[in-house]
Structure 1
């Protein structure tokens, strides 16, 4: 015999169901807003190539990108990030753009704190950076340049730096931002096609242009890995030139070009991350000549 549903039991079940729905929604909001955006992880990849000199075997490069300080990411979170990078004991550190979300909204005191934290990063073969679109935005071009200079970072703006170990070298190049800068690939490594050539480029989808040049590795950010990933739907936040190669490794062309798109550290547009934890990226070079 079916149980008779009284008005009292109906109200009780409805109330429990409603409260359960509210709790689930609040729990999801809390996780996506207050937990996952600050749950940093480290992604490690070995980069193998016959062009990597044996002197660079086990050479470690740490990439961080898209901190977007001032939107949701705070200076106290930056301190934890710096500690995580230093714990990797990198040989070389690269930052691939978008230090703040809007440079015009960051106070001088906050910038001083940022300089203090970034200055703690140490790597025997240097610290390099490139502009992202948010660095040029908000009239921030010169402000961000000054902050990074004070922090001991060297700008690669359509330039190539030769990294040398025991008289052998690899090339590290950097492009100005594709969307708001004046990028130029011409002449960066055309004179040194036999070497292992790395490119820092904020927007990952520009790899479709880069593949025509003699680069072996492209490190990018910009896309935030979609920032929010919905099962059976996909990526929610996909900015221009960050829609094709949204995250992870992609192999292009015949050389080949290995593209790695980092999910980055901070958030933009929406103060949430879901199924898309922030990350730093560690690349260990492996010489196939050994």
Structure 2
């Protein structure tokens, strides 16, 4: 860490302590974590067939159930997602915060099963899903809820005899991601979406014939201050933190979701939780 970065983090931590020790503490802990944003974005591509015009993909990420985010809150989220009438639902990792300490008696499975869409539900592992011996436990929950795991593989999403590619990689931190394997036998001329939990993986993705990468992991920093921005993001979310990133003269656009829950610290400040609704349009 260089001196400038150290001073920024030290000063930011000081401001966080001062701010969160007053009235801001209540807002950051009790209010903002429940203020859900629905971020809507239209994605236009010449690689898309007109059969997919107005096709809606809803992404949610990083619920971290068990760490200040309850099953009751998750059920409310399910209702909000269903009201968007998605064609496709994707989850980009970190379902529960500590899989080894999470005891599912069927409530989470039933909540996930209530999510409805016309073209399937897909998910990828995040680092918390692999952590705490959660790999098999999380897969069992998602399998029972009719979610399809994309672990270095892809699916073809079809509409009126047209297709686009939806791929997903294994988690970067605790898994074995392999994008070459993921896209094996995929038509490079088709519109292609890749799910990757860690957003900084985009520097690898940009080397492949991919149109869109959808990621989470960063939580947007969770705590942000004017002028300073975020104070901390985890490994592999240090370069791309939130929002949209376009790569000049390259095919790829990256979208980083701020996620739903919190981890490590139960605060959000100037960094509301969000879900993404992407509406596809052909430019042909």
TM-score, with length taken from structure 2: 0.91
**How far did 1:254 drift?**
3.0
Alignment match of 2:64 (pick from 41, 65, 68): 68
CA distance in 2, matches of 1:129, 1:54: 26
**Structure number, greater radius of gyration:** 1
Q: Mind listing any 5+ residue stretches in structure 2 that lack a counterpart?
A: 1-17
**Per-residue CA shift, 1:250-270, capped at 9, x if unaligned?**
012534201000000000111
Q: Is the 8 A contact 2:95 2:129 kept in 1?
A: yes
Match of 2:244 in 1: 249
Aligned to 1:177: 171
Distance 2:160 2:84 in 1: 23
Match of 1:280 among 272, 275, 283: 275
Question: Which residue, 183, 186, 192 being the options, matches 1:197?
Answer: 192
SS across alignment from 2:78: helix
Name the SS of the counterpart of 2:137 in structure 1: helix
Please tell me whether residue 90 in structure 1 is matched to residue 90 in structure 2: no
Q: Measure how far apart 1:105 and its partner are.
A: 1.1
Q: Contact between 2:152 and 2:181, CA under 8 Å: does it hold in 1?
A: no
- The DSSP-based 3-state class of the residue aligned with 1:79 is helix
Corresponding residue to 2:138 among 132, 144, 147 = 144
TM-score (structure 1 length as normaliser): 0.89
> Any conservation in 2 of the 1:211–1:253 contact (CA below 8 Å)?
no
- RMSD between superposed Cα atoms in Å: 1.5
1:230 is displaced (CA, Å) by: 1.4
Q: CA deviation at 1:23?
A: 11
Q: Secondary structure at the match of 1:99?
A: coil
Structure 2 match to 1:206 = 201
- Number of equivalences: 266
